């Protein structure tokens, strides 16, 4: 599939990473409140350089990286980012993660961006299932999943050692079949992000993509 980026929603532009996104990302990932439920500590500049370098390679699920990383801009300013990455060798099952600059919270921007990325996942890549894993205390992420029609599937007790303590994990997921059965649920959450584009699916070897996933991380991609 040719990556459908930049992709416009009603208020946002989603696009692949550029090297100079580093400063904008550092602006929010360096904040302790953002890092609280992420795997990493608040970013430093050297760490940000490594992360952006990795994310620049994640240009599509059907590329060797088996992953797609995008930033979201509002009026030319990067305010958040999200990623999709394959998690098995069918090439049809993926995980999704997201981060929003806290200055832009509470306005539905994350819902709009992640909804658009789910449309890419299901309509562009014809995925079967997309899941999200998060710290059970991350209520804002749980609400985001629910707004987007993802179902809460599991609550894992103290399965993850994070930042000096055992933490609980919640797993949400949505299937292609859920979206066919309840199209209004995801369209209502993000009507402007529906994609009318017809994608040309390039042949790819899903097992190759999956085995090259050296970055898989529970809960959220780094
Ligand atoms: C998770 C995260 C993205 C959620 O941010 P958010 O601001 O709650 O999400 P949205 O931008 O979609 O905004 C939704 C809120 O805006 C409100 N809102 C206003 N206008 C809206 C609109 N047009 N559409 C949807 N919601 C809207 C919603 O009611 C909701 O408010 P509520 O939580 O009080 O009900 C953010 O907290 C974050 O980045 N956290 C740190 C990183 C992180 O933990 N990532 C996840 C790892 S798994």
Closest CA to 185 of 219, 216, 150: 150
Residue minimizing CA distance to atom 19 of ligand 1: 107
96 three-state secondary structure: strand
pTM of the model: 0.88
pLDDT at site 201 = 28
User: Which residues have C-beta atoms less than 6 Å from ligand 1?
Assistant: 34, 37-38, 97-100, 105-111, 134, 138, 140-141, 143-144, 219-220
pLDDT tens sequence across 14-60: 999 999 999 999 999 999 999 999 999 999 999 999 999 999 999 99
What are the two backbone dihedrals, phi and then psi, of residue 164, each rounded to the nearest 5 degrees? Answer: 85, 10
Architecture of domain 7-190: 3-Layer(aba) Sandwich (3.40)
The residue ranges of the chain whose pLDDT is under 70 are 2-3, 184-222
The DSSP element (H or E) to which 122 belongs, if any, is none
| Site to substitute for ligand 1 among 38, 144, 148, most atoms within 8 A of C-beta | 144
- β-pairing verdict for 93-100 and 13-16: unpaired
48 three-state secondary structure: helix
Euclidean distance between CA atoms 97 and 89, whole angstroms: 19
């Amino acid at each position: 599939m040719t990556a459908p980026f930049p992709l416009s929603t009603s208020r946002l532009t989603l696009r692949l990473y550029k090297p100079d996104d580093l400063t904008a990302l550092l602006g929010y990932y360096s904040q302790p409140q953002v890092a609280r439920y992420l795997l990493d500590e608040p970013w430093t500049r050297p760490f940000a350089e490594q992360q952006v370098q990795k994310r620049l390679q994640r240009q599509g699920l059907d590329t060797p990286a088996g992953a797609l990383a995008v930033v979201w801009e509002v009026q030319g300013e990067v305010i958040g980012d999200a990623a999709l990455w394959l998690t098995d060798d069918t090439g049809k099952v993926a995980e999704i993660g997201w981060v929003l600059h806290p200055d832009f919270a509470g306005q539905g921007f994350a819902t709009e961006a992640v909804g658009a990325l789910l449309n890419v996942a299901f309509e562009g890549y014809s995925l079967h299932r997309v899941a999200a894993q998060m710290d059970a205390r991350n209520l804002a992420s749980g609400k985001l999943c629910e707004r987007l029609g993802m179902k809460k599937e599991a609550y894992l007790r103290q399965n993850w050692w994070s930042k000096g303590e055992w933490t609980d994990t919640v797993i949400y997921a949505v299937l292609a079949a859920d979206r066919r059965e309840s199209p209004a649920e995801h369209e209502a959450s993000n009507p402007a992000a529906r994609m009318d584009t017809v994608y040309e699916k390039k042949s790819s070897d899903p097992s190759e993509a999956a085995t090259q996933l050296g970055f898989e991380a529970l809960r959220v991609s780094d």
